[in-house]
Amino acid sequence: MRVTVKLFAMLREHLGDEIELELAEPATAGSLLERFGEAYPQFHSALASLKVAVDQTYARNDEPIAPGQEVAIIPPVSGG
Query: What is the block-wise mean pLDDT of the chain (80 residues), using blocks of 10 residues?
Result: 95 96 96 97 93 97 96 82
Q: How many residues does the chain have?
A: 80
CB atoms within 10 A of CB 66: 13
Cα dihedral sign for 33, 34, 35, 36?
A: positive
Whole-number pLDDT of residue 53? 98
Q: Whole domain around residue 38: which residue ranges?
A: 2-74
Within-domain flag for 8: yes
Within-domain flag for 68: yes
Whole-number pLDDT of residue 78? 66
Within-domain flag for 21: yes
Whole-number pLDDT of residue 4? 96
Which distant-in-sequence residues (6+ apart) come within 8 Å of 70 by Cβ?
6, 53, 54, 55, 56
* Cα separation, 75 vs 78, whole angstroms: 10
What 3-state class would DSSP assign to 12?
helix
Within-domain flag for 38: yes
Whole-number pLDDT of residue 80? 54
**Domains in the chain, number:** 1
